[in-house]
Amino acid sequence: MCLGVPGKVIAVKDDWIAEVDISGVVIDVGLQFTPEAKVGDYVLVHTGYAMHVMDEAEAMETLKLLEEMGAAAELPDGQIS
């Protein structure tokens, strides 16, 4: 299974690398697949590359779902919140 995580571009270092904030963690991300990404954009990050530029609403909804999945994984076996 592959998982892409939304992050916000906070700086573009050069044509190919951006600093991206993913829930408070800043990482360098390759822009080879999304050269149009700019500061302030949200991108879907997978294996260190921005795969898709996405709108903020889509990014926030995806992050919310990922947080809910994480919370559900922490519940005792068989318990449903």
d(CA 8, CA 14): 16
> Which tens digits make up the pLDDT trace of 1-23?
578 899 999 999 988 999 999 98
Q: Quick one: average pLDDT of 16-42?
A: 96
Q: Which domains does the chain have, with CATH numbers?
A: 5-73 (2.30.30.140)
pTM of the model: 0.82
- What's the pLDDT score for residue 60? 92
Question: Which are the contacts of 57, defined by CB distance < 8 A and separation ≥ 6?
Answer: none
Q: Is the pLDDT of residue 53 over 90?
A: yes
**pLDDT of the residue at 69:** 79
Do the Cβ atoms of 18 and 49 come closer than 8 Å? Answer: no
Q: In this predicted structure, what is the pLDDT of residue 57?
A: 95
User: What are the helix and strand counts (H, E) for the chain?
Assistant: 1, 5
Mean local confidence (pLDDT), 58-63:
91
Quick one: average pLDDT of 18-37?
96
